[in-house]
Amino acid sequence: MEPYLYLAGLKRLSGEVNGDETIHLGIRPYGFHAGNAVALLIYPYLLCKFVQDRGIKPTFRFIVSLNDYEQDCLDGPDIIRYPFNIYPLNSSLKHTPDERGCCNSVVEHWQPIIENCLRVLRKYYSRTEIIFVKNSELRNDVSFMDMLIHTIKFPKEQGDIMRKYSGKEVLEKPMQFAGVVCPKCKKTHGKTHILKSGDIMWKCQMCLTSFCGSYGQFDYWWHHKAMLCARLKIFNIDITISGADHYSEGDFLIRKDFLNLFCPEQKIPKMLFSPLVLAPDGRKMSKSRNNIAFADIKRLLFIIENCEGESIQLDNDVLILGINEKDYSCNL
């Protein structure tokens, strides 16, 4: 199976689907910039539109992962040169304080904003379904647990696969793709050991406490690539939609090998990749402090509907600057 790349891939996929597939989308619940809007709203919208053009009413089920188990910020020896020798700067997003100060965490702050933006899709395609799932809500699912524990025990297997397909250098150390969040100080710096009994031993480098307990007594952080496999299995995903940065990191091949490692019986999803969205300064879109740029969704839709390439650099007139995120809406 080939990847479905950008506009041509979107059109090819639209011609092949039944219209009732289960589709996975994912976002770090920490902002909603123009790049997020393309992968999470505009590509799903266009998929529905092109399917409807075939005379089929789309009834897709969209599973939207709110990745609260991902790292707050990446830290490591050199996150550009060794993008897989990384770990959280402080903790998972779930345990990252809200910078605005109005909620318990960044996730609680951004979740309603993201959900409001994406629900717009159902105004146009009312028979589609959108299900929002935080990673932390899947913690006690058996396959999630098995794959998470496997990730903690055998990071080298995953490091070798990433080295093989990403074209990036991967160091032997530090190599860790998941771990415990300290029950006391909520930081992730420390040692996670899985004992023979299956219990977990945690030694915190920050507050210096040790805990031993069962899997369910701890909270975790987890790198998104392996964590995706758990979600593919739990929701029996037919199609994934992700940004071009995933494609350039080798995810099309990495996901296949990861699935083979964790659950070879699970079907490999069709993978659609949306173009990379660059800010007017030529850099990749991302949320940075004091620079929250939202997109004018109607203008962005027009641009993306006509963008054949693998990346698009936006002009300033597509961006809305200085808006309070709670006042942002996504009418197409």
Residue (2 or 327) nearer to Zn ion, CB: 327
54 is a contact residue toward Zn ion (CB under 5 A): no
Q: At what angle do helices 155-166 and 142-153 cross, to 10 degrees?
A: 80
> Please, which of residues 92-111 interact with Zn ion by CB under 5 A?
98, 100, 102-103, 109
CB of 23 to Zn ion, least distance (A): 29
From start to end of the chain, where are the E strands?
4-5, 22-27, 61-66, 74-75, 87-88, 129-134, 178-181, 190-194, 200-204, 210-213, 219-222, 239-243, 270-274, 276-278, 293-295, 311-313, 319-321
Q: Which of 119, 184, 193, 283 binds Zn ion (CB under 5 A)?
A: 184
Q: Which of 7, 114, 117, 185 binds Zn ion (CB under 5 A)?
A: 185
Structure tokens at 124: 């146009």
206 is a contact residue toward Zn ion (CB under 5 A): yes
Identity at 243, one-letter amino acid code:
G
Tell me which residue of 216, 221, 91, 229 sits closest to 158, measured CA to CA.
229
Q: Which of 131, 207, 212, 323 binds Zn ion (CB under 5 A)?
A: 207
Residue (185 or 330) nearer to Zn ion, CB: 185
Segment interacting with Zn ion (CB under 5 A) among 128-136, 142-150, 206-214, 221-229: 206-214
Site string for Zn ion, 33-52 (x = CB under 5 A): --------------------
Site string for Zn ion, 127-166 (x = CB under 5 A): ----------------------------------------
Go through the chain and tell me how many residues it has: 332
Total number of residues binding Zn ion (CB under 5 A)? 11
CB of 188 to Zn ion, least distance (A): 9
CB of 292 to Zn ion, least distance (A): 13
Give the Cα separation of 64 and 55 in Å (integer).
26
Give the Cα separation of 291 and 276 in Å (integer).
19
212 is a contact residue toward Zn ion (CB under 5 A): no
Tell me which residue of 81, 13, 33 sits closest to 241, measured CA to CA.
13
204 is a contact residue toward Zn ion (CB under 5 A): yes
CB of 313 to Zn ion, least distance (A): 31
CB of 326 to Zn ion, least distance (A): 9
CB of 192 to Zn ion, least distance (A): 12
Q: At what angle do helices 251-262 and 142-153 cross, to 10 degrees?
A: 100
Segment interacting with Zn ion (CB under 5 A) among 161-169, 202-210, 248-256, 292-300: 202-210
SS3 content of the chain, % helix, strand, coil (to 5): 40, 20, 40
117 is a contact residue toward Zn ion (CB under 5 A): no
Tell me which residue of 123, 131, 121 sits closest to 44, measured CA to CA.
121
Give the Cα separation of 286 and 314 in Å (integer).
13
193 is a contact residue toward Zn ion (CB under 5 A): no
CB of 287 to Zn ion, least distance (A): 14
320 is a contact residue toward Zn ion (CB under 5 A): no
Burial of 264 (0-12, 13-18, 19+ CB in 10 A): exposed
Binding site for Zn ion (CB under 5 A): 98, 100, 102-103, 109, 182, 184-185, 204, 206-207
